[in-house]
Amino acid sequence: MVLGLELNKDRDIERIHGSGVNTLDIEPVEARYMLSGGSDGVIVLYDLENSSRQPYYTCKAVCSVGRNHPDVHKYSVETVQWYPHDTGMFTSSSFDKTLKVWDTNTLQTADIFNFEETVYSHHMSPVATKHCLVAVGTRGPKVQLCDLKSGSCSHILQGHRQEILAVSWSPRCEYILATASADSRVKLWDVRRASGCLFTLDQHNGKKSQAVESANTAHNGKVNGLCFTSDGLHLLTVGTDNRMRLWNSSNGENTLVNYGKVCNDSRKALKFTVSNGCSSEFVFVPYGSTIAVYTIYSGEQITMLKGHYKSVDCCVFQSHFQELYSGSRDCNILAWVPSLYEPVPDNDEPTTKSQLNPAFEDAWSSSDEEG
């Protein structure tokens, strides 16, 4: 059976962005508010809740940091992220070499971190209770760790040779960080350790017979996307070699799952996402103007979501309603919902339980088949 995600015909997202949408984030507390960041520096905050209770509704923009806002980013916003523990604060980073910490209620900056280089990506740990570090990837080869408590960049991780295109904290351990670089490498770090680096992922799993040239590389091209599975046990990476790889995050082993060709010519971070709370696990990857959906552990391509008419740069999964949101250079944000039923057969038989799409059954429900 096919995982049926389709464009949500009942839900529109108010179109505010006048240029491409680079980044989306849904706050983890209520999963109600979504941030988006645009190529023109604009940030928009949306309310995803249907307060009207009408079947057809538009997700309204609650507020935005527009071009006339005194603290607006001068250039493209590459990453937005909610503070993981409450909706009173969010962060944004930009090609204007800054990371900004915002007070959601006043829409003013509470803090600004300035860097010497363009900022490609940043991330706060979704699970940290003992630290307030923001990992920042810039055009330089050093990974910077900024401390929200002290307001300074406390720590630098050295080891990459080129720009850092993506950073992601583990959802399992608050001290484990993954970083992806244009040097074809992905490193995992324990930020408590003096040396920092735990291991560098090797696509060949240490087999010496492979060309020395590609030793200790995760991809044969720039690595521009990272995403942990929701349990943190595995890490997905994408590279400009048109490959996606699945790694065991505790020992760094390449699991050798084959997803086929995953087209990726993005020169910056590609923001992809995984499902959460489904009985099967899926990964959603921007693929030109579509979004490709794969089963994580078998590598099977389930479907291509078609609806945007220019390149998709980001997508984010909303686990409460099992919905996907995507942002594109066509300036639109689209909502995708699971279609729970297979097309009903022509002979008008009553729909049986087996026609329910298994991917979206409640992950906690025990069906008879599961012994």
- Quote the CA–CA distance of 13 and 77 in Å, as a whole number: 19
Show the tokens assigned to 283: 């990964």
Tell me, what's the pLDDT at 139? Answer: 94
Tell me, what's the pLDDT at 321? Answer: 82
Q: What is the mean pLDDT of each run of 10 residues along the chain (371 residues)?
A: 68 93 96 97 95 85 95 97 95 98 96 96 97 96 95 91 97 97 97 89 82 79 97 97 97 97 91 88 95 96 94 94 93 83 45 42 42 39
Residue 99 has φ and ψ, to the nearest 5°, of: -120, 125
Can you point out the beta strands (E) in 207-311?
Answer: 223-228, 234-239, 243-248, 273-274, 282-287, 290-295, 301-306
Tell me, what's the pLDDT at 133? Answer: 97
Do residues 218 and 249 touch, judged by C-beta distance below 8 A? no
Per-residue DSSP letter, 278:
B
Do residues 183 and 137 touch, judged by C-beta distance below 8 A? no
Nearest residue to 155 (alpha-carbon basis) of 186, 187, 191, 101: 191
Tell me, what's the pLDDT at 161? Answer: 96
Tell me, what's the pLDDT at 232? Answer: 96
Tell me, what's the pLDDT at 266? Answer: 87
Residue-wise pLDDT for 39-95, tens only, equals: 999 999 999 998 888 888 899 999 999 999 999 999 999 999 999 999 999 999 999
Tell me, what's the pLDDT at 16? Answer: 94
Show the tokens assigned to 364: 């906690």
| This prediction's pTM | 0.89
- Quote the CA–CA distance of 131 and 83 in Å, as a whole number: 13
